[in-house]
């Protein structure tokens, strides 16, 4: 299986989840890896778990699954905490079919902290240093560029914990942080025919800057890929996001998928989570 689909942060959004799986099927990809936060925020946590179960998808655990399993919600903001409490009630105490309920709970308990594949790529939710809670994203690159205290150390510590390629989620914004070895640089031509120069040290590339969202992996580079979010995108683009990893061509590609956002938001709003519904429609 030369191609893998990597999904993250579905967050109980069934409409987005179904649309993404439809696109994955149209790409003829059978190997799918989920890197956490299947639940939380959205109105269909159980149904999203069912989609993973019926496809027998390997999944790592996110901070929302961890909170549900440990019944520990203190690090979440009030509306997110209320959403998690509602989600747990749906999964554990609802009147759903008993066998289906057990399957969902067993799946939650089966989720891993980290998953290394046969190519050496590492899959996790947060960061290589802290799979559950730490964010590692474009903001860390900006801190690095401005030489803010601890910024380079944070990147160094995390990049020391994987060999060549790592996929993460958690912050819902797709992007690639690339570490280039000293004395090397690479030129990329983006979709607007502009040049992007990768220089020694850490670099940041957004998928929207790349032709068809495709980035070519190189042996002399380390790459951390934030795959964005299926069900709660937050880069001012409300469409669902996921990545394809082609192990033969050695490329990663970001795909953005349209879905019925208003339907998903209406169900969230009906549950009383107005702010979460508004964020969904705005992609923020």
pTM tops 0.85, yes or no:
yes
Furthest-apart CA pair in the chain: how many Å? 62
Cα separation, 245 vs 31, whole angstroms: 10
| 244, 3 contact by CB (below 8 A) | yes
User: Which region among 122-131, 191-200, 211-220 has the lowest average model confidence (pLDDT)?
Assistant: 191-200
CA distances to 59, 61, 62, 168, 256 from 109, rounded to whole Å, are 11, 9, 12, 20, 30
Question: What gap in Å lies between CA 267 and CA 273, rounded to an integer?
Answer: 9
How far CA 236 is from CA of 9, 122, 139, 174, 284, in Å, comes to: 16, 28, 15, 11, 5
C-beta atoms surrounding 31 within 10 Å: 16
- Concatenated DSSP letters for 225-271? EE---SSS--SS--SEEEEEEETTTTEEEEEEE---HHHHHHHHHHT
pLDDT tens profile 173-204: 999 999 998 777 787 766 666 788 898 999 99
Give residue-wise pLDDT tens across range 224-240. Answer: 999 999 999 998 999 99
Q: What is the pLDDT of residue 182?
A: 74
* Domain covering 3-282, topology: Purple Acid Phosphatase; chain A, domain 2 (3.60.21)
CA–CA gap between residue 165 and residue 33 (Å, rounded): 15
Residues 6+ apart with CB under 8 A from 26: none
- Report the alpha-carbon distance of residue 227 to residue 169 in Å, rounded: 6
Q: Of residues 43 and 93, which shows the higher confidence score?
A: 43
Q: Which tokens sit at 68? A: 């549900």
Express each pLDDT in 236-267 by its tens digit: 999 999 999 999 999 999 999 999 999 999 99
């Amino acid at each position: 299986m030369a191609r893998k689909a990597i999904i993250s942060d579905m967050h109980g959004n069934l409409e987005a989840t179904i649309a993404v799986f439809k696109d994955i099927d149209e790409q003829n990809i059978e190997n799918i890896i989920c890197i956490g936060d299947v639940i939380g925020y959205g109105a269909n946590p159980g149904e999203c778990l069912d989609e993973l179960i019926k496809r027998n998808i390997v999944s790592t655990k996110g901070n929302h699954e961890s909170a549900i399993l440990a019944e520990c919600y203190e690090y979440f903001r009030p509306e997110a905490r209320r959403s998690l409490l509602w989600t747990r009630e749906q999964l554990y105490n609802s009147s759903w079919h008993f066998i289906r309920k057990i399957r969902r709970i067993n799946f939650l308990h089966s989720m891993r902290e980290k998953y290394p594949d046969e190519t050496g790529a590492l899959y996790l939710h947060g960061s290589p240093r802290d799979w559950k809670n730490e964010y590692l994203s474009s903001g860390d690159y900006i801190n690095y560029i401005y030489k803010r205290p601890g910024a380079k150390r944070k990147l160094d510590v995390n990049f020391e914990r994987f060999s060549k390629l790592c996929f993460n989620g958690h912050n819902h914004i797709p992007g690639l942080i690339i570490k280039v070895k000293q004395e090397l640089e690479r030129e990329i031509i983006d979709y607007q025919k502009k040049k992007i120069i990768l220089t020694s040290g850490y670099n940041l590339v957004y998928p929207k800057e790349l032709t068809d969202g495709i980035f070519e992996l190189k042996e002399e580079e380390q790459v951390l890929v934030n795959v964005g979010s299926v069900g709660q995108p937050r880069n001012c683009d409300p469409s669902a996001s996921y990545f394809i990893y082609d192990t033969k061509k050695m490329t990663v590609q970001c795909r953005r998928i349209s879905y019925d956002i208003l339907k998903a938001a209406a169900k969230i709003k009906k549950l009383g989570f107005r702010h979460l519904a508004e964020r969904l429609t705005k992609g923020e």
